[in-house]
Amino acid sequence: MRGGPHRARRTISLSTVAFNIGGATACSSWPFQRNGQSRRISVRGPVTVNSPGLAVRAAVDGLGIAYTIEPPAEPFIRSGQLVRVLEDWLPPYEGYFLYYPGHRQVPTALRALIDMLRAGREPPQSKG
């Protein structure tokens, strides 16, 4: 890629979708890695969301570039509504790690969480 990290900075200097967890902007910088080079690039955007699904929706609606996990974005990538950018700069992702007691009877709520993580889905929205 010509321009290396400069192109990454230029690309995400466009409108971005910020990701917020628990009141603190968790993804105020996005990690990039290629050929042994690691970079964290600060981002600011007009939209802040608190779930990967909302980040994807904001990107689909044209509000900015989203840095998110792949499962919620995949249907929109397949349909052509979204495109991957800076793919060769993505850091390797090994998946979720969840540690829990190895009891034979796993509590129902924990079983639901494990199944949700394995399926790559977001939790259902609470009605309120």
At 78-98, the pLDDT tens digits run 999 999 988 888 777 676 778
> Which of 5-19, 43-57, 71-85 has the largest mean confidence?
71-85
Q: Could you tell me the residue ranges of all domains in the chain? A: 4-89
CATH entry, 4-89, from 1.10.10.350, 3.40.190.10, 3.40.50.2300, 3.40.50.720: 3.40.190.10
Sequence-ordered alpha helix ranges (H) in 1-128: 4-12, 52-60, 70-79, 108-119
- Strand pairing report for 17-21 and 24-25: antiparallel
Secondary structure of residue 104 in the 3-state scheme: coil
For residue 49, the 8-state DSSP code is E
pTM of the model: 0.63
